[in-house]
Amino acid sequence: MGKLDGRVAVITGAGRGIGAAVAEKMAAEGAAVVVNDLVVSLDGSGQSTGPAQEVAERILVRGGKAVASTANVTSFEETGELIQTAIREFGRLDVLVNVAGIIRDALIFKMTEEQWDAVIAVHLKGTFNTTRHASVWWRENRGGHFRIINFVSGSGLFGSPVQPNYAAAKMGMVGLMNTLAVEHTKNNIKFNAIAPNAASRMTEKVLPPPLFEKLKPEHIVPAVMWLASEQNQDTGMIINCMGGWYSRAAIVCAKGIIIGDGHKTVTAEDIQANWDTIKSLDEAKPLGSIIESFGYVASLLNK
Ligand SMILES: NC(=O)c1ccc[n+]([C@@H]2O[C@H](COP(=O)([O-])OP(=O)(O)OC[C@H]3O[C@@H](n4cnc5c(N)ncnc54)[C@H](O)[C@@H]3O)[C@@H](O)[C@H]2O)c1
């Protein structure tokens, strides 16, 4: 018995790196997988079909269920076909893992419009495209345990020099996840994110060699396996994964301060006088939705 017996997964960017490790493990645990990869160079240029097919063949040789797809995640039409491949070949879709990624690093004053657009297109629009098509099928086929896992990055969560396009795209994926997690509280679709750090071509020039050796993509895989499982009931989580380190990252809202009673005209001097309290993370916690912030402020104003 595998942990994912009977489940069907689409994994984008699964021709190499973390995505390939995820696809192979999911298949080893019984999932039927669509191994998607356009197979581009690190900056998104060029194309070949090889690696996605090779990953699928490795799975088939071991007795697993897999099919390769070379859909470009930036294409609305091709991602529609990608989702349909899962349904046509395996009859359903349970898990979507958005791993596909490219980088085109540059300082902001040197960044071209093309560098910006290309990175936003793969990460942010690509995630919209696959999610949009999967959600249509899930809406028409309620009753499953549907899971989306988005690969985001510490570059966006914490900031990273020369990656303004990449960081913005990854945080766009977090915003998309936050809203979908709030929208879909009832139909058992769980949206979660992983912020990985692992040895791949994306990090070979960034990670110091001793760390590169230790940060195997295989360390990321168990977190995907858990988030993809029927047992996981959490949604809207961001999980840092690096080496053997797993930790939750969150956007939090601190207690702050009400200045006046909601009617007083607050001045910049008031803000300055209360700056230490405003910026402190006192009683900081993640909010369940924007509505929670409305309720919180309303309760303070009514006191
Ligand atoms: N490796 C890390 O430490 C790290 C850190 C933070 C975030 N990430 C994120 O994790 C994910 C996996 O990274 P990786 O290190 O395995 O990278 P990788 O470059 O080894 O793999 C990414 C794959 O995505 C594919 N891809 C790119 N554009 C595509 C498109 N338009 N359509 C379909 N496939 C496409 C590439 O061909 C490649 O095989 C990426 O989203 C990356 O941004 C990685």
Which pLDDT value is given to residue 303?
67
For residue 265, the model assigns a pLDDT of 87
Task: Given the residues 116, 138, 166, 191, select the one marked as catalytic.
Answer: 166
Rounded CA gap, 238 and 15, in Å?
Answer: 24
Average model confidence (pLDDT) for the chain? 94
Provide the pLDDT for residue 277.
97
Look at residue 142 in the predicted model and tell me its pLDDT. Answer: 93
Pull the structure tokens for residue 98. Answer: 């958005």
Q: How far is ligand 1, taken at its centre, from the CA of residue 12, in Å? A: 9
SS3 23: helix
pLDDT computed for residue 182 by the predictor: 94
What atom in ligand 1 is closest to the CA of residue 170?
A: 43
Pocket of ligand 1, candidates 24, 77, 200, 213: which has the most ligand atoms within 8 Å of its Cβ, to mutate? 200
Ligand 1 atom index nearest CA of 122 = 31
Instruction: Supply 94's token pair.
Output: 């349970």
Does position 300 have pLDDT exceeding 80, yes or no? no
Q: What is the C-alpha separation between 78 and 69, in angstroms, rounded?
A: 10
**What pLDDT does residue 228 have?**
97
Inform me whether the pLDDT recorded for 133 exceeds 90. Answer: yes
Distance (Å) from CA 118 to ligand 1 centroid: 14
Whole-prediction pTM: 0.95
Smallest CA-to-CA distance from 24 within 67, 56, 51 is with: 56
Tokens of 269: 């001097």
Mutate-to-test residue for ligand 1 from 40, 81, 213, highest number of ligand atoms within 8 A of CB: 40
Q: What is the dihedral of CA 79, 84, 90, 96, to 10 degrees?
A: 40
Q: Give me the pLDDT at residue 263, please.
A: 73
Active site residue 166: yes
Query: ∠123-148-50 over CA atoms, to 5°?
Result: 55
pLDDT band at 93 (very low <50, low <70, confident <90, very high): very high
Predicted pLDDT at 173: 98
What residues have CB less than 8 Å from 299, skipping those under 6 apart?
A: none
**What local confidence, expressed as pLDDT, does residue 298 receive?**
84
Q: What are phi and psi of 197, to 5 degrees?
A: -140, 115
Give dist(CA 32, CA 234) in Å, integer: 23
CA–CA separation, 27 and 33 (whole Å):
6
Query: Among the listed ranges 19-23, 162-166, 185-189, which one has the minimum average pLDDT value?
Result: 185-189
Over range 206-222, report the average pLDDT. Answer: 91
Check residue 297 and give its pLDDT. 82
Residue 101 DSSP SS3: coil
For the chain, how long is the longest CA-to-CA vector?
71
User: Taking residues 31-57, what's their average pLDDT?
Assistant: 84
Dist CA 167 CA 108 (whole Å): 12
Distance, CA of 69 to CA of 67 (rounded, Å): 7
Task: Read off the tokens for 170.
Answer: 């990854």
| Percentage with pLDDT > 70 across the chain | 97
Ligand 1 center to 100 CA (angstroms): 4
150, β-bridge pairs: 98, 193
Task: Identify the band that residue 56 occupies on the pLDDT scale cut at 50, 70 and 90.
Answer: very high
How much is the average pLDDT of 43-68?
88
Would you say residue 154 has pLDDT above 90?
A: yes
Predicted confidence band of residue 49 (pLDDT cuts 50, 70, 90): low
Q: Pick the more confident residue, 103 or 298.
A: 103
In the predicted structure, residue 41 carries a pLDDT above the cut 90: no
- pLDDT for 145 beyond 90: yes
Q: Quick check: 205 pLDDT over 70?
A: yes
Do residues 144 and 92 touch, judged by C-beta distance below 8 A?
yes
> What is the rounded CA–CA span in Å between residue 224 and residue 218?
10
Ligand 1 centroid, distance to 97 Cα (angstroms): 12
**Residue 269 predicted with pLDDT over 70:** yes
Quote the pLDDT of residue 204. 87
Average pLDDT of the segment spanning 44-49? 64
Q: How many secondary structure helices (H) and strands (E) does the chain include?
A: 12, 8
β pairing state of 95-98 and 189-197: unpaired
Instruction: Give the mean pLDDT of 72-77.
Output: 98
Secondary structure element (H or E) that encloses residue 36, with its range: strand 32-36
State yes or no: pLDDT of 206 exceeds 90.
no
